[in-house]
Chain A
Amino acid sequence: MASKGICDRVAIVGMGCTKFGEHWNRSASDLLVDAVQEAYGSAGIEPDNVDAYWLGTTGSGISGLTLSEPLKIQYKPVTRLENMCATGSEAIRNAAYAVASGAYDLVMAVGVEKLKDSGFSGLTGSAPPGDGTESGMTAPANFSLLAPAYAEKYGVDLETMRDVLTKIAYKNHYNGARNEKAQFQREVPVEKINASPKVAGMLGIMDCSGVSDGSAAAVICRAEDAHKYNDNPIFIKALSFVAGPSEGAKRQDYDFTTFPEVVESARDAYVQAGIEDPREQISMAEVHDCFTPTELVLMEDLGFSPRGQAWKDTMDGRFDLDGDQPVNPDGGLKSFGHPIGASGLRMMYEMWLQLRGEAGERQIADPKVGLTHNLGGAPGRCVSFVSVVGL
């Protein structure tokens, strides 16, 4: 019982990504036009060449019309999908499987989110009519549960834990400062991260990802066609997606130091891609650093660090841009920003740049295999996506 996978059967031949940030003067439609046009250009194709589209957005529109109307797509299939914060990655996965099936030859995965029009802090969602018994906790509160639980389980004192979280935020801002498309393009001093106003539990505002607007897009085809469109395509090695049964919120044995959904999606992806030792074989990763402790726990769930060791690897610089296994080289959700539906595609965009040697100042030396990880929900109750891509 596992996904059979489509290792090396599907390629990405073009990508586009807007700058993420507070686009007061750009609508979701504007951002879609910008990202899709850039992707068309990147693959050297015309709109007519694309057989079908998958559009991921959690709340910036409903139905395929959200994409077909601004781009005037001429009577083609456009699927709008949503899978919480992993929405963008789901667009890639569904589009890739569609070309792998042979139903289409050339497709596009697009993601968009326009968060800054709401006027509210943090994320807002519209739940279906309910009975009013949900806990009402916000995302930072849910993820803040990870930090003390991890510290207690592995005997890390809370002062050290604070240093670890700060290091993650510092690293991701350092990387984002080298990225002209990131929401926040400045390094942030450690003292400022430590002193940022508290949002939930141990987490300050500088432990949270950026709330932003943005869009990204990928052009996808079967591997045998890849060179028709691009001399330097990247190839999909694995796509894995898991929705958990929401046990952690209901069972007393869940301890908030791991995401079982991530462990399972990583295991599945590594089988598909033939990865036996992710710590050694994965050159770089874009992971779902929605809050700093999430990145810490992910390093262990993805197999980059042994259990209880990720905090040391983090402090030792293993995941720095110039470390042995760079994580979030583009700045991550923390610094690049997190327009929900676009984030999974933004992660893939960095793989596209890095694998093709186009990452400029933050180029990692000779990366072979990259991983993207995208998460939606909360500890104990989430969905998780893992992709492995390479040359």
Chain B
Amino acid sequence: MSGIVRYGSYVPFNRIQRSAIGAGRGERAAASYDEDSASMAVEASREALRELPEGAAVDTVAFASTSAPYSEKLNAATLQAATNLPKSVTALDLGGSTRSGLSALLAGIDMASAGRTVLVAASDVVVGAPSGPRESGGGDAAAAFVLGGNGTEPIARLIGRASCTEEVLDVWKSPGMPFAKQWEERFGADVYTPLLVETFGRALADAGVSASDLSRVVLDGTNARVFRGFPRPAGIAPEQILDGLAGTVGRAGSAHAGLVLASALDGASAGDRIAVAVVADGVDVAVFEVTDAIDAGRPKHSVASWVESKRNDLAYTTYLKWREVLPFEPPRRPDPDRPAAPPMQRAERWKFGFLGSRCNRCGNTNLPPQRVCVVCQAVDDSTVEPYADGECRISTYTLDRLAYSLQPPVIGAVVDFDKGGRMLCQLTDVDPDNVGIGDELEMTFRRLYTAGGVHNYFWKARPKR
């Protein structure tokens, strides 16, 4: 039976206090100025892909988001390139509704049943109109799942499912609208709650389990009011419902159900049954049963560890500047150049895959890959050396207050890798007052800037999270 083989999550480093927005308690996760839904999907996918079990070779990539960086140009291709998946993958983008994350997961499981091995990454940067509920209640995050069928050993099998689609005006955003709008919540609740109860019941029947058999229930949707009237008719006890991370992350759009499912898997034991329901333009429900493989299949970072690793004093004006809601005085420096297509194509394995080279003659590592070895000058005699997961540390660094950035100063560091090799790169997710020579770093995939509508992705280093 098909199911989840591996999973991963990602919550960005920055949080904004809701009190800073003037909107209630708790905090929400905020993608940094150099992140978008594609770069966060890469981070979550790296977690899911780090140690794939034997027999699981990803041949399909799906990216689900309502905030895709490109509305035309395959965002899943960025994901494929940055995770060094083979070019032979089938790749697709999904979106259109925050239900697309769970829909993609279900579709991925269907593909797995047809013999494919599928990476599904759902990711969203949720931007709401200033002072509205979507701004304060939203969050930015990503979740990724590798789905497999026969021949792979899942950590959680899909044992039941049901769907419902409803043509309803609840949340909508047309091209050109800066922010999504939502009809009044009382209306949505009246429409959705009965649909959820009915669909949830069908999913349990499909799984052959009763509500009391569920260890955990993940409830997610555009309208929190929907869930008020749900547990009693569905036969769910309050303690079965998993914390939805509203106080720490916020609702992360299409990624949210996956993120909360990931937190459920973080704490799950073999035999646990977990139901996930998403209510948006209808309902999707999936019921999973956790297997004995769970302990070997957990990612490096739990959702809780991402949530704990943070800087939580982001200023509201800075947040609005990062999201391009608030115009600001640009630095007195030229705008960065739009990266050019042919050089990016030639450098793809470096720019996206972060692959360096190792000289076959002297063993020296070269970043970026060099045709002529910097140490022994051997020509065209090297092998590929992966660096994305390389341990590294600060050799020296500086704060560049002149360079163009949405978050000055740019912290430029000379980074030395434990396996050899040096590069000059920018640090991110770091307090300029708290950087030191020798600090341990890890690499992270980022959007350096956007110029001419072209997103310039590359790697930066960050303190270990």
Q: Chain A contacts of B344 at CB under 8 A?
A: 131-132
Contact with A along B388-413 (1 / 0, CB 8 A): 00000001111111111000011010
Q: Would you give the shortest CB distance from A278 to chain B, in whole angstroms?
A: 29
Q: Chain A contacts of B375 at CB under 8 A?
A: 251
Q: Chain B contacts of A149 at CB under 8 A?
A: 396
A254 vs B375: C-alpha distance in the bound complex, in angstroms?
Answer: 12
Whether the Cβ atoms of A132 and B456 lie closer than 8 Å is: yes
A66 vs B416: C-alpha distance in the bound complex, in angstroms?
Answer: 44
Nearest A residue to B342, CB-CB = A129
Whether the Cβ atoms of A124 and B334 lie closer than 8 Å is: yes
Task: Say whether B73 faces chain A, with CB atoms less than 8 Å apart.
Answer: no
Whether the Cβ atoms of A131 and B374 lie closer than 8 Å is: no
Contact with A along B327-362 (1 / 0, CB 8 A): 000011110110110111011001100000000000
Task: Say whether A250 faces chain B, with CB atoms less than 8 Å apart.
Answer: yes
Q: Chain B contacts of A140 at CB under 8 A?
A: 400, 402
Task: Say whether B366 faces chain A, with CB atoms less than 8 Å apart.
Answer: yes
Q: Chain B contacts of A136 at CB under 8 A?
A: 336, 403-404, 410, 426, 448
Q: Chain A contacts of B164 at CB under 8 A?
A: none
Interface centre among B370, B397, B424 (most CB of A within 10 A): B424
Task: Say whether A198 faces chain B, with CB atoms less than 8 Å apart.
Answer: yes
Checking B351, B367, B397, B400 against A138 with a beta-carbon cut-off of 8 angstroms, the contacting residue is B400
Contact with B along A172-204 (1 / 0, CB 8 A): 000000000000000000000000001111000
Chain A interface, >50% SS class: loop
Whether the Cβ atoms of A132 and B420 lie closer than 8 Å is: no
Whether the Cβ atoms of A132 and B403 lie closer than 8 Å is: no
A131 vs B416: C-alpha distance in the bound complex, in angstroms?
Answer: 22
Q: Would you give the shortest CB distance from A211 to chain B, in whole angstroms?
A: 11
Whether the Cβ atoms of B332 and A119 lie closer than 8 Å is: yes
Q: Chain A contacts of B368 at CB under 8 A?
A: 133
Nearest B residue to A132, CB-CB = B339
Task: Say whether A25 faces chain B, with CB atoms less than 8 Å apart.
Answer: no
Whether the Cβ atoms of A201 and B398 lie closer than 8 Å is: yes
Q: Would you give the shortest CB distance from B60 to chain A, in whole angstroms?
A: 28
Checking A132, A137, A256 against B400 with a beta-carbon cut-off of 8 angstroms, the contacting residue is A137
Task: Say whether A101 faces chain B, with CB atoms less than 8 Å apart.
Answer: no
Contact with B along A134-157 (1 / 0, CB 8 A): 011110111011001100100000
Whether the Cβ atoms of A145 and B398 lie closer than 8 Å is: yes
Given known pairs A120-B333, A145-B398, the reply for A131 and B403 (CB within 8 Å) is no
Q: Chain B contacts of A145 at CB under 8 A?
A: 396-398, 414
Complex interface residues of chain A between 79 and 111 (CB less than 8 A to chain B): none
A126 vs B5: C-alpha distance in the bound complex, in angstroms?
Answer: 48
A256 vs B368: C-alpha distance in the bound complex, in angstroms?
Answer: 20
Whether the Cβ atoms of B403 and A141 lie closer than 8 Å is: yes
Complex interface residues of chain A between 242 and 292 (CB less than 8 A to chain B): 245-247, 249-252, 254, 256
A201 vs B401: C-alpha distance in the bound complex, in angstroms?
Answer: 8
A349 vs B202: C-alpha distance in the bound complex, in angstroms?
Answer: 89
A93 vs B28: C-alpha distance in the bound complex, in angstroms?
Answer: 61
A245 vs B398: C-alpha distance in the bound complex, in angstroms?
Answer: 23
Checking A122, A201, A249 against B424 with a beta-carbon cut-off of 8 angstroms, the contacting residue is A249
A124 vs B337: C-alpha distance in the bound complex, in angstroms?
Answer: 12
Checking A119, A138, A254 against B402 with a beta-carbon cut-off of 8 angstroms, the contacting residue is A138
Task: Say whether A127 faces chain B, with CB atoms less than 8 Å apart.
Answer: yes
Task: Say whether A130 faces chain B, with CB atoms less than 8 Å apart.
Answer: yes
Whether the Cβ atoms of B401 and A198 lie closer than 8 Å is: yes
Task: Say whether A121 faces chain B, with CB atoms less than 8 Å apart.
Answer: yes
Task: Say whether B425 faces chain A, with CB atoms less than 8 Å apart.
Answer: yes
Q: Chain B contacts of A121 at CB under 8 A?
A: 331-333, 402
Given known pairs A200-B398, A201-B398, A249-B422, the reply for A127 and B339 (CB within 8 Å) is no
Whether the Cβ atoms of A252 and B351 lie closer than 8 Å is: no
Task: Say whether B200 faces chain A, with CB atoms less than 8 Å apart.
Answer: no
Task: Say whether B458 faces chain A, with CB atoms less than 8 Å apart.
Answer: yes
Q: Would you give the shortest CB distance from A357 to chain B, in whole angstroms?
A: 41
Whether the Cβ atoms of A130 and B448 lie closer than 8 Å is: no
Q: Chain B contacts of A246 at CB under 8 A?
A: 374
Q: Would you give the shortest CB distance from A16 to chain B, in whole angstroms?
A: 32
| Contact sample, A vs B, 6 pairs, CB 8 Å cutoff | A118-B334, A121-B331, A122-B333, A141-B410, A145-B398, A252-B420
Given contacts A119-B332, A133-B351, A252-B421, 13 further A-B pairs with CB under 8 A are: A118-B334, A127-B337, A132-B457, A141-B400, A141-B412, A142-B412, A198-B401, A249-B414, A250-B366, A251-B374, A252-B395, A252-B416, A256-B396
The interface of chain A, by Cβ under 8 A from chain B, is 118-122, 124, 127, 129-133, 135-138, 140-142, 144-145, 148-149, 152, 198-201, 245-247, 249-252, 254, 256
Closest 8 pairs (CB-CB, A-B): A132-B339, A129-B340, A141-B400, A201-B398, A132-B456, A131-B343, A131-B347, A137-B412
